[in-house]
Structure 1
Amino acid sequence: MAKTRPTRGATLNRASARFNLPAREADGDWLDERETVDGAPAPLRTTVTVETPRTIITRNQSPDIAFDRSINPYRGCEHGCIYCFARPSHAYLDLSPGLDFETRLFAKPDAPALLRAELAKPGYACRPIAFGTNTDPYQPIEREWRITRGCIEILAECNHPITITTKSDRVTRDLDLIAPMAAKGLAAVMLSVTTLDPRIAMTLEPRAAHPEKRLAAIRTLADAGVPVFVSLSPVIPAITDHEMEHILERAAAAGARAAFFLPVRLPHEVAPLFRAWLDTHFPDRASKVMAIVQSLRGGKDNDPEFFSRMRGQGPWAELLRTRFQIACRRYGLDGERIRLRTDLFRRPAGAQGELF
Structure 2
Amino acid sequence: MAEAAKGRGARSNATGRHEPEKVEAFDDGWTADDVEAAPLRTTLTPERARTIIAKNTSPDVGFDRSINPYKGCEHGCIYCYARPSHAWMGLSPGLDFESRLFFKPEAAGLLEQELCKPRYVCKRIHIGGNTDPYQPVERELKSTRSILEVMQRFNHPFSIITKSVLIARDVDILGPMGREGLASAFVSITTLDRGLARAMEPRASTPAKRLEAISRLAEAGVPVGVGFAPVIPGLNDHELESVLEAAAKAGATSAMYVTLRLPLEIKDLFREWLADARPDRAARVMSLVRQTRGGRDYDPDWTTRMKGSGPVADLIATRFHAAIKRYGLDASRTPLDETKFRVPASARKQMDLFDAA
Give 1:304 deviation, angstroms.
1.1
Give 1:140 deviation, angstroms.
0.3
Aligned AA (1:4): A
SS of structure 1 residue aligned to 2:187: strand
Give 1:16 deviation, angstroms.
2.2
Look up the match of 2:20: 21
Q: Of 297, 313, 333, which residue of structure 1 is paired with 2:309?
A: 313
Per the normalisation by structure 1, the TM-score is: 0.94
- Asked whether the equivalents of residues 234 and 284 of structure 2 are also in contact (C-alpha less than 8 Å), the reply is yes
Deviations 1:12-33 (A, max 9, x none): 100123x25334699xxxxxx9
Q: Distance in 2 between matches of 1:328 and 1:275?
A: 31
Aligned residues: 349
Q: Distance in 2 between matches of 1:155 and 1:304?
A: 34
Q: Of 332, 349, 354, which residue of structure 2 is paired with 1:352?
A: 349
Residues 169, 193 of structure 1: alpha-carbon distance in 2 compared, 3 angstrom cutoff: same
Residues 25, 246 of structure 1: alpha-carbon distance in 2 compared, 3 angstrom cutoff: closer
SS of structure 2 residue aligned to 1:157: helix
Look up the match of 1:8: 8
Look up the match of 2:173: 177
Matched, 1:189 2:185: yes
- Asked whether the equivalents of residues 116 and 348 of structure 2 are also in contact (C-alpha less than 8 Å), the reply is no
Aligned AA (1:158): F
Matched, 1:121 2:121: no
Q: Of 279, 282, 285, which residue of structure 1 is paired with 2:281?
A: 285
SS of structure 2 residue aligned to 1:352: helix
- Asked whether the equivalents of residues 188 and 338 of structure 1 are also in contact (C-alpha less than 8 Å), the reply is no
Q: 1:128-207, aligned counterparts within 5 Å?
A: 128-207=124-203
SS of structure 2 residue aligned to 1:164: strand
Q: Distance in 2 between matches of 1:337 and 1:238?
A: 31
- Asked whether the equivalents of residues 35 and 42 of structure 1 are also in contact (C-alpha less than 8 Å), the reply is no
Residues 38, 253 of structure 1: alpha-carbon distance in 2 compared, 3 angstrom cutoff: farther
Q: Distance in 1 between matches of 2:250 and 2:30?
A: 44
SS of structure 2 residue aligned to 1:55: coil
Per the normalisation by structure 2, the TM-score is: 0.94
Q: Distance in 2 between matches of 1:297 and 1:97?
A: 22
Look up the match of 1:29: none
SS of structure 1 residue aligned to 2:306: helix
Instruction: After the TM superposition, list the runs of 4 or more consecutive aligned residues in structure 1 that deviate by more than 4 angstroms.
Output: 33-42, 353-356
- Asked whether the equivalents of residues 168 and 216 of structure 2 are also in contact (C-alpha less than 8 Å), the reply is yes
> Which runs of no fewer than 5 residues in structure 2 stay unpaired?
none
Q: Distance in 1 between matches of 2:162 and 2:324?
A: 21
Look up the match of 2:81: 85
Percentage identity across paired residues of the two chains:
53
Deviations 1:129-182 (A, max 9, x none): 101110000000000100101011001000000101000000010111111111
Q: Distance in 1 between matches of 2:133 and 2:334?
A: 19
The RMSD of aligned alpha carbons is: 2.0
